[in-house]
Amino acid sequence: MDYSQFLAMKQEIGLLVVFLLVFLYDTFMPQRSGKALPVFTTVLMLAATVAGFFPCLLGTGSMSAFAGMYETSPIVCAIKGVLNIGVVIVLIQSYVWADSAPMQQRRGEYLELTLLTLFGMYLMISARHFLLFVIGLETASLPLATMVALDKDHYESREAAVKYILTAIFSSAVFMMGLSYVYGLSGSLYFNDIAVNIASQMSPLLIIAMVFVMAGIGFKLSLVPFHLWTADVYQGAPTSVTSYLSVISKGSAAFAFLVILAQAFGTIYADTWEWMLYALIVLTITIGNLFAMRQRNMKRFLAFSSVSQAGYIMLGVIAFNVTGMASLVYYILVYIFSNLAAFGVIQAIENATGKLSMDDYKGLYKTNPRLSFAMMLAMFSLAGIPPFAGFFSKFFIFTGAIAQRSVAIYVLVLIALINTIISLYYYLLVVKAMFISPDECVIPTFKSACSERLGLWITVAGIILLGIVSCVYNWLSGIAVM
Amino acid sequence: MFSNILIYFVVIPLLMLAGLALCKNIKQIRAVAVVGSLALTALSVYLLVDFLALRAAGDTAPMLYLGSWEWFGPLNINLSVGVDGISIAMLLLSSIIVFAGSFASWTIDQPKEFFLWLILLSTGVFGFFISIDLFTMFMFYEVALIPMYLLIGVWGSGRKEYSAMKLTLMLMGGSAFLMLGLIGIYYHSAPVGAERTWDLLEIARNGSISTGWQYFLFPMTFVGFGVLGAMFPFHTWSPDGHASAPTAVSMLHAGVLMKLGGYGCFRVAIYLMPEAAHDLAWIFLVLTGISVVYGAFSACVQTDLKYINAYSSVSHCGLVLFAILMLNTTAMTGAIMQMLSHGLMTALFFALIGQIYGRTHTRDITKMGGLMQIMPYLSVCYVIAGMASLGLPGLSGFVAEMTIFVGSFAHTDMFHRVFTVLACCSIVITAVYILRVVGKLLFGPVQDEHHRQLTDATWWERVSTVTLIVCVAAIGCFPNFFANLIRATFTPEIFTVLGLN
């Protein structure tokens, strides 16, 4: 056996080491030192993130393990690094919540499950065989249901967990149903073999298989019409878990989706999934936006906003080229920073006052100018306003999509662009509540915790710098390969 | 990078932003605003002089002070700058209006935030005028739009929330079309196989956008910029937006921001896609013709001073686009002159309206009258602005409109003739609404006895109005100087691209 193949899995191994250390610390250290556990985890994750970047920056080619079931390449390392950064921010933002009285008993579970689901996402991203992919998918989904239920004293949290696990299981079933057809048609579960074997045999069965496969992943990404669980789960879950769900879980699924479609089904791009994805994107962006307009609860609001954002991310998939891939990873990175800035503000306010409604945000600028400023930047970045990072990521993902140069794609991008105006409307509603609405000032002036401020500083710095400082995108562009 | 003079048009506003962040009280904020805008004005005057010297020395390149720095290499996006006579005229206009606007908002509430957004807006404006890379141009364009939302929403009056949202969404809607058009241009910017580019000059040189694609991309970009140029039927944001905006914002918006639309239509839509411009001009001529006449008629029946000027802006800005679409040197020169003239005189109008409103707390002309007896200085200024607007010789309006109509009449076919005559009618209608306001507001009997206690302009208000009046008169008295500055731009090269006279 060639042990050098484990080197390819250095990021997974690093993550497992982090997990084991956290687990041992949680199990064997005395109860009173549990307070340091989140910080301990963050530091280890940070180390793993930094370590994971290094060979990637040096630009090694792709490596595979387990007879080609697992594959890694610089862009794969990059997306894992991006997810790691997101997880570090999520962890920092969750300190206050993890320290709250009901959570003290469950602090360890929260951290360990977070790391485990992340491990599952790594496998989804790196899998080049559907068996490994399904293992990753389940590892990433099932523990998430437990995380959603962590606020078990709240009815909504338990309800959300049930909804989440039922949809997760159902979508896995649908997905594997599709896989069985694919296996029947191609005789293999290796992505490369599938691509070769199905290229010549377009059949109704293949289209049905594609429908099932896309529906299965559609659930995970909450693409319309598979998005119905999103709002309730996002609202019911603890806010830290919601932010994890909305950025990390979504980002990893989007990249995994790109890999599957490009590698396993790339040969039947124009015949099948281009049009399916086309319809999904139009529906996702439009319906996500239309529903977001009417939301007053901030978490529900961001749930629908994240539904429509997933539609924009899918533009990078339908582009089916290197620019699209680089833009997709870049979009996910920017989206992580923007959305986590928004969630950071929501968490800070929730922890201090328990308020979650947009109506309570009225006059926030008068009482908490810095928080409102951070929220405004997050909203502008999500809406794609320059000079913030969101503008660049939207522009590049559109540019990548239009490289197809077909009229249909122009129409698709136009629909997406018109939708950015709708999204601008509801993002501006938040800005309006904070800055313009007549003084009601429901939320008093408060001092947010050190960790919350640190999280916001990091995300705000990211929002401002990721776009203007072009080296991030240029680097991603350099390592992206289809 | 910093050896290029143009970069300082963006660097100075950024330094002003940094300075604002450190300010402790209103005096420091005023100092930053005045010093910064003076520096910008000085810079643009220096640029003008230097540019004329270079031209006199025989430099006939279409754009001078070129500079390009790589930004997003994989997509070939660069930070490219360069100016010609038109850009310089626009930079001069912008810096003067920012200067006047700083004085017009001398006593604003929450000054720090206000100037923060105002200067961010002007960063976008200056950046737009110096860019020749489509991506950076578009980026600065959007940077200039979004601060309007907060400026109107927080500091505005009347139905400010509604107007701010309407304005932002409509302008951003325009820029959605624009973005699609620009990305489309990028993908057709070079012959198949060659490296694509966002650089305006290179795209024009390559001329590789096929006529079919031009028919698609030209309307996208023209409408995209046209929304900001208040082209009918996309002008409806303008009256509400102007009426609700605070004084300095109305000044900047009508004076500078709407010029971004006209400038963009010329620089991107027509310059890069001349064939489509030639073939499709009639559609937009009809639309802008409607803007011109309809805007003027609407202004006649309004009773709110700001609405009157907002509709008058629709009419005058419509004339800018109308003249650009005539596609000949004379009319286009007139269009640029009209941009300068309208920018200055509308800024003057809005400054005066703000100052009158600040005293009487009403903008309804039926509730005011006889202001000439009460505040003679402001009233005289108002008359001067009005005269400029209706095209009195010696002031800027006459020169611009005269040039435009002479240029338009050069077309001998029926269609152009009819629309030119229609557009000419707007001059008469303009006289009607201007004289109506002047008669009622300034010379009628005093309507409200409380108004007799009001005082005349303060020194900072005088600085702001005098600056603008001097400039309006300068264009009116020395039109040739400006016309030559602009005309030098319409070099033979551009017209070979346009394929016209």
The DSSP result for A133-144, as a single string, is: HHHHHHHHHHHH
d(CA B339, CA B334): 9
Nearest chain B Cα distance for residue A402, angstroms: 8
3-state helix, strand, coil in chain A (%, to 5): 80, 0, 20
Q: At what angle do helices A322-353 and A74-93 cross, to 10 degrees?
A: 10
Residue B410, pLDDT above cutoff 90: no
Helix axes B160-187, B147-155, angle to 10 degrees: 170
Over residues B57-86, mean pLDDT? 86
Q: For residue B449, is pLDDT > 80? A: no
Query: Largest Cα–Cα distance in chain B?
Result: 76
Identify all chain A residues contacting B143, using CB atoms and an 8 Å cutoff.
386-387
Of B153, B160, B169, the CB nearest to A424: B169
Q: Which helix (H) or strand (E) holds B64?
A: strand B64-72
C-alpha distance across the termini of chain A, in Å: 29
Average pLDDT over residues B475-494: 74
Which of B256, B419, B238, B230 lies closest to B339, judged by CA?
B256
The region that residue A354 occupies, defined by phi over 0 for left and psi between -120 and 50 for alpha, beta otherwise, is left
**For residue B73, which residues of chain A lie inside 8 Å, CB to CB?**
470, 474, 477
**CA B383 from chain center: how many Å?**
22
Give the 3-state secondary structure of residue B443: helix
Distance from C-alpha of B147 to C-alpha of B246, rounded to nearest angstrom? 13
Q: Which residues contact B277 (CB under 8 A, 6 or more apart)?
A: B218, B222, B269, B270, B325, B327, B498
Angle at A155 between CA A152 and CA A161, to 5 degrees: 65
Q: What phi and psi, each to the nearest 5 degrees, are found at residue A129?
A: -145, 135
B208 touching A, CB under 8 A? no
DSSP single-letter state for residue A409: H
What one-character DSSP code corresponds to residue B232? Answer: T
Contacts of A421 in chain B (CB under 8 A): 169, 172-173, 176
Give the pLDDT confidence of B352-378 residue by residue, as tens digits. Answer: 888 888 888 888 888 887 788 888 888
User: Is the dihedral angle over the CA atoms B133, B139, B145, B147 positive or is it negative?
Assistant: negative
- Read off the pLDDT band of B27 (50, 70, 90): confident
Interface of A with B (CB under 8 A): 323, 326, 380, 385-387, 391, 395-396, 398-399, 402-403, 405, 410, 413-414, 417-418, 420-421, 424-425, 428, 431-432, 435-436, 470, 473-474, 477-478
- Has this prediction a pTM greater than 0.90? yes
- Give A102-157 pLDDT, tens digit per residue: 888 888 889 999 999 999 999 999 999 999 999 999 999 999 999 999 988 888 89
Count of beta carbons in the 10 Å neighbourhood of residue A162: 15
Q: Which residues of B touch A380 (CB under 8 A)?
A: 146
Q: What CA–CA distance (Å, rounded) separates B256 from B253?
A: 6
Strands B77-83 and A70-72, by their bridges, are unpaired
Q: Which of A385, A417, A421 sits opposite B180 (nearest CB)?
A: A417
Average pLDDT, chain B: 87
Buried b (16+ CB within 10 A) or exposed e, A417-447: bbbbbbbbbbbbbbbbbbbbbeeebebeeee
SS3 A199: coil
- Facing residue for A399 by CB, picked from B150, B173, B183: B183
Q: What percent of chain B has pLDDT over 90?
A: 25
Tally C-beta pairs within 8 A across A and B: 85
User: How far lies A180's CA from each of A173, A184, A185, A208, A338, in Å?
Assistant: 11, 6, 9, 11, 39
Query: Which residue in chain A is spatially nearest to B184 when comparing CA positions?
Result: A402
Specify whether the CB–CB gap between A244 and A343 falls below 8 A: no
Domain containing B323 equals 5-498
- Contact indicator for B360, B448 with CB cutoff of 8 Å: yes
Give the residue ranges of chain A where pLDDT is below 70.
1, 55-60, 439
CB atoms within 10 A of CB B279: 14
- Residue in A387, A399, A435 closest to B150 by CB: A435
Name, in order, each residue with C-beta under 8 angstroms of B462's C-beta and a sequence gap of 6 or more.
B377
Q: Quick check: helix, strand or coil at residue B331?
A: helix
Number of domains in chain B: 1
Point out which residues pair with A71 in neighbouring strands: A64
User: Does the beta-carbon distance from B176 to A418 stay under 8 Å?
Assistant: yes
Q: Does residue B169 belong to the interface with chain A, where contact is any CB pair within 8 Å? A: yes
Which chain A residues are Cβ-neighbours of B139 within 8 angstroms? Answer: 386-387, 391
CB-based burial label for A345 (10 Å; 0-12, 13-18, 19+): buried
Name the closest residue on chain A to residue B144, using Cα atoms. A386
Angle between helices A191-198 and A155-186 (to 10 degrees): 50
**Residue B245 · residue B183 · CB < 8 Å:** no
Half-sphere exposure of B297 (CA within 13 A, CB side): 9
- Residue B261 in this model has a pLDDT that exceeds 60: yes
Distance (Å) from the alpha carbon of B382 to chain A's nearest alpha carbon = 32
- Contact at 8 Å (CB) between A234 and A288? no
A320: DSSP letter: -
- In this prediction, residue B140 carries a pLDDT of 94
B78: three-class secondary structure by DSSP: strand
Q: Which residues pair with A65 in a beta bridge?
A: A70
- No. of helices (H) and no. of strands (E), chain B: 23, 2
Contact between B353 and B247 under an 8 Å Cβ cutoff? The reply is yes
Q: B65: closest CA among B53, B77, B81?
A: B81
Inter-chain residue contact A428 with B149, CB threshold 8 Å: yes
Could you write out the DSSP letters of every residue in A37-74? HHHHHHHHHHHHHHHHHHHHHHT---EEETTTTEEE-H
- B142 and A385: CB-CB below 8 Å? yes
**Quick check: B183 and A402 CB within 8 A?**
yes
Mean pLDDT (whole number) for B192-210: 86
pLDDT of residue B496: 56
A384 closest CA partner among A346, A430, A323, A335: A335
- Residue among A224, A346, A341, A330 at smallest CA distance from A287: A224
Cβ contact A49:A85 at 8 Å: yes
pLDDT greater at residue B493 or residue B189: B189
Burial label for A17, CB within 10 Å (0-12, 13-18, 19+), is middle
CA distance A189 to chain B (A): 35
**Helix or strand or coil: residue B72?**
strand
Task: Name the one residue in this structure whose structure tokens are 């005539």.
Answer: B326
Distances in Å between the Cα of B131 and the Cα atoms of A217, A332, B203, B217 are: 43, 29, 14, 20
Q: Is B415 on the interface with A (CB under 8 A)?
A: no
- Nearest CB among B149, B176, B186 relative to A421 is that of B176
Instruction: Tell me how long chain A is.
Output: 482
- Across B166-176, average pLDDT: 92
pLDDT over 50 at B501, yes or no: no
- Contact call for B146 and A405, based on CB within 8 A: no
**Residues above pLDDT 70, as percent of chain B:** 97
Question: Any idea of the CA torsion for A12, A17, A21, A23, to the nearest 10 degrees?
Answer: 40
Check CB contact under 8 Å for B179 and A417.
yes
Alpha carbon A72 to its chain's center: 20
3-state secondary structure (DSSP) of residue A77: helix
Closest to A190 measured CA to CA, from A133, A150, A246:
A133
Confidence of residue B281 (pLDDT cuts 50, 70, 90): confident
* Surface of B (12-31) touching A: CB under 8 A: none
Question: Do residues A435 and B153 make contact, with C-beta atoms less than 8 angstroms apart?
Answer: yes
Q: And the tokens for B47?
A: 């640029």
CA dist B328 and B281 (Å) reads: 12
